[in-house]
A and B are shown apart, each in its own frame.
Chain A
Amino acid sequence: MDIADGNMIIHVEKEVDHCVADKIKTEFEKYYIRGYVKNVIFDMSEVEFMDSSGIGMIMGRYRKMKYVNGQVMVAAVPENIDRLLKMSGVYSFVSKYDSVIEAVNRVNKKEGA
């Protein structure tokens, strides 16, 4: 997990289940309650497995970031994970980018404008 200019980049682990999702939520919360997080970018490049706990994790961050007018993005989503995100309607709230850099550029540009 890195934070630069309020953009929190979460490098998601290989297997995202209930266990891992809870760990990520706890870690996020530490920075969120201090007001450090302006936007969240999930780097999905390493993810090989995900179940609905991962969907809950992304949707949950979306709800939290809405309070602070922040965005949630997913980047570098592998094909099998993309299928899950599509099925659960995640893309109606969260935008997808090919890479973390692309997502960061997009969000910085928006804030600059």
Chain B
Amino acid sequence: MERDNNKVYEATVEFGTEPENEGFARMIVAGFIARLNPTLEELSDIRTAVSEAVTNSIIHGYCMQEGKIRMDCKITGNEFEVTVEDGGVGIENIKKAMEPLYTTKPELERSGMGFAFMEAFMDKVSVESTPGEGTTVRMSKKIAKEAALPECMERAVGFD
């Protein structure tokens, strides 16, 4: 069976900083990756990671003030890639921000686990930020790695 590993799908959405948009972003991503038939765990991982990135933009990037967040989703073969971009305050020290349990907003009871979850649930996470200009979080994850199995089995049967 031939698998078209180069097929590319893309979607871009832009939304405001209303906290309800965190749920909206998760819905979009879940719908977008449905074509890759992710397992429930993969789906949950991706929804959590996206929720973290979008929440960061709303709470930290824009400090709950008005602003626009852009989310680009892309599928290449069986790899899902998402970019969450804001034009907010930016991050002074990215390394520090990514440390588990570190938060600049303890008064809002932020757990400081946002980036740790993104890193735990996605294959790759990268952050670019310019103070005063904004932050871009890029994450990717390969879906249905086990989908390669039937191919191997086919080959095994072929050799027989």
A interface residue numbers (CB < 8 A to B): 15, 17-19, 21-22, 25, 49-53, 55-57, 59-60, 80, 84, 87-88
A-B contact list, 14 entries, CB within 8 Å: A17-B22, A17-B26, A22-B19, A49-B47, A51-B51, A52-B112, A53-B55, A53-B111, A55-B111, A56-B113, A57-B109, A60-B109, A80-B40, A87-B120
- How far in angstroms is the closest Cβ of chain B from A5? 26
Q: A51-B117, A52-B113, A80-B41 are in contact. Are A19 and B23 (CB under 8 A)?
A: yes
- How far in angstroms is the closest Cβ of chain A from B132? 24
Please tell me the number of chain B residues within 8 Å of chain A, measured between CB atoms.
26
Q: A18-B19, A87-B113 are in contact. List 9 more A-B contacts (CB 8 A).
A: A19-B20, A52-B111, A52-B112, A52-B116, A56-B113, A57-B109, A84-B48, A84-B117, A88-B100
Residues of chain B from 3 to 45 with CB closer than 8 A to chain A in the complex: 19-20, 22-23, 26, 40-41, 44
